[in-house]
């Protein structure tokens, strides 16, 4: 299953690599390989953000990226901020940095089976990870967020899968992941910030530690509910400031977190088995028995 997930990821990257040439030359350039970038890409510093309307829009985007809760109620339906998954304001390698994403769109995504623009990709975050309503393409928040993406990618090549992109593929665990072992890891390493109940924590009414499950967390459509994706995020990034879990621990705790209830998949068809079959053919626990209940079942089922 891991192998399958990896080969899908690789396939997407290969397809995306071929995109610019194919678009320019209608297939004649299919064997074209863009030159490798000279080294790791570094996004421009904050101090280089220009003055004027464009700079203002970039700064606005950065602000919304860090404090996405400002869009709570309008576009955000839970307690998450963009920066919870995209660490260091979307700059950190191996934490789905914006500078590595921007040049990879438009791209075909198996998730919705069509070619997505960068805007549609960001809207996907709002729909699933933020459990909200996506800002329209031309809305000010979207223009601001897109401007911030553009800024961080300034000087990055287009159509090149840069090192540090996404969450790095994680090695297969020695033992199959275990929700029970994951609980032990969670209580020891994660609960101090995210709470034993996974609900995160607020201070002065502001979210400080993001909720990992429950009604204020990402929904069952978010990429993070996949155990392999969560493990790939956790391994290089968590615990924040001291990311040193073993590969096995990352898998186990990813399974535990994703064995807990969270908001329904917005693509829910009204029938759990059908939704699971149609949208959850990947490494997740949606529709399975966990902690004495069926994960993703509507209340009362």
Residues of this chain that interact with another protein (CB under 8 A) are 87-89, 91-92, 188-189, 192-193, 201, 203-204, 206, 208-209, 239-243
CA-based nearest residue to 262, from 205, 206, 197, 209: 197
Q: How far is the CB of 46 from another protein (least distance, A)?
A: 8
Task: Give whichever of 28 and 240 is closer to another protein, judged by the CB atom.
Answer: 240
Other CB atoms within 10 Å distance of the CB of residue 277: 12
> Residue 248: CB partners within 8 Å, gap ≥ 6?
173, 174, 175, 181
Nearer to another protein, 143 or 193 (CB): 193
Residue with tokens 């990226």: 65
CA nearest neighbour of 106 among 220, 193, 18, 46: 18
> What is the smallest separation between the CB atom of 244 and another protein, expressed in angstroms?
8
3-class DSSP state for residue 202?
strand
Q: Which is nearer to another protein, 74 or 187 (CB)?
A: 187
- Asked if residues 30 and 21 have their Cβ atoms less than 8 Å apart, the reply is yes
Residues 4 and 23: their CA atoms lie apart, in Å, by 28
Q: Note whether 164 and 93 are within 8 A (CB).
A: yes
Helix (H, G, I), strand (E, B) or coil at 115: strand
Residue (43 or 132) nearer to another protein, CB: 43
Radius of gyration of the chain (CA): 19
91 vs 121 by CB, closer to another protein: 91
Q: How far is the CB of 236 from another protein (least distance, A)?
A: 9
DSSP secondary structure code for residue 93 in this structure: T
Specify the residue, 159 or 210, whose C-beta has the smaller distance to another protein. Answer: 210
- As given in the structure block, the two tokens for residue 11 are 């396939």
């Amino acid at each position: 299953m891991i192998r399958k997930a990896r080969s899908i990821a690789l396939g997407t990257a290969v397809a995306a690599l071929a995109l610019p040439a194919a678009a320019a030359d209608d297939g004649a350039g299919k064997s074209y390989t863009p030159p490798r970038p000279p080294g790791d890409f570094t996004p421009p510093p904050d101090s280089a953000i220009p003055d004027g309307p464009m700079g203002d829009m970039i700064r606005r985007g950065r602000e919304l990226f860090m404090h996405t809760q400002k869009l709570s109620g309008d576009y955000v339906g839970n307690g998450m901020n963009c920066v919870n998954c995209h660490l260091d304001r979307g700059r950190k390698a191996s934490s789905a940095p914006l500078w590595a994403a921007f040049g990879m769109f438009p791209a075909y995504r198996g998730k919705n089976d069509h070619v997505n623009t960068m805007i549609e990709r960001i809207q996907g975050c709002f729909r699933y990870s933020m459990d909200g309503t996506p800002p329209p393409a031309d809305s000010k928040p979207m223009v601001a967020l897109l401007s911030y993406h553009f800024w961080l990618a300034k000087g990055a090549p287009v159509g090149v899968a840069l090192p540090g992109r996404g969450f790095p593929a994680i090695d297969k665990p020695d033992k199959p992941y275990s929700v029970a072992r994951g609980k032990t890891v969670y209580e020891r390493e994660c609960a101090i910030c995210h709470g034993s109940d996974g609900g995160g924590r607020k201070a002065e009414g502001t979210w400080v530690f993001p909720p990992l499950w429950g009604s204020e967390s990402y929904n069952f459509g978010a990429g993070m509910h996949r155990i392999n994706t969560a493990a790939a995020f956790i391994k290089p990034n968590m615990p924040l400031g001291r990311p040193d879990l073993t590969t096995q621990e990352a898998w186990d705790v990813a399974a535990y977190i994703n064995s807990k209830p969270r908001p329904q998949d917005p693509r829910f068809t009204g029938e759990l088995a059908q939704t699971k079959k149609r949208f959850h053919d990947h490494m997740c626990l949606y529709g399975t028995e966990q902690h004495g209940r069926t994960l993703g079942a509507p209340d009362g089922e």
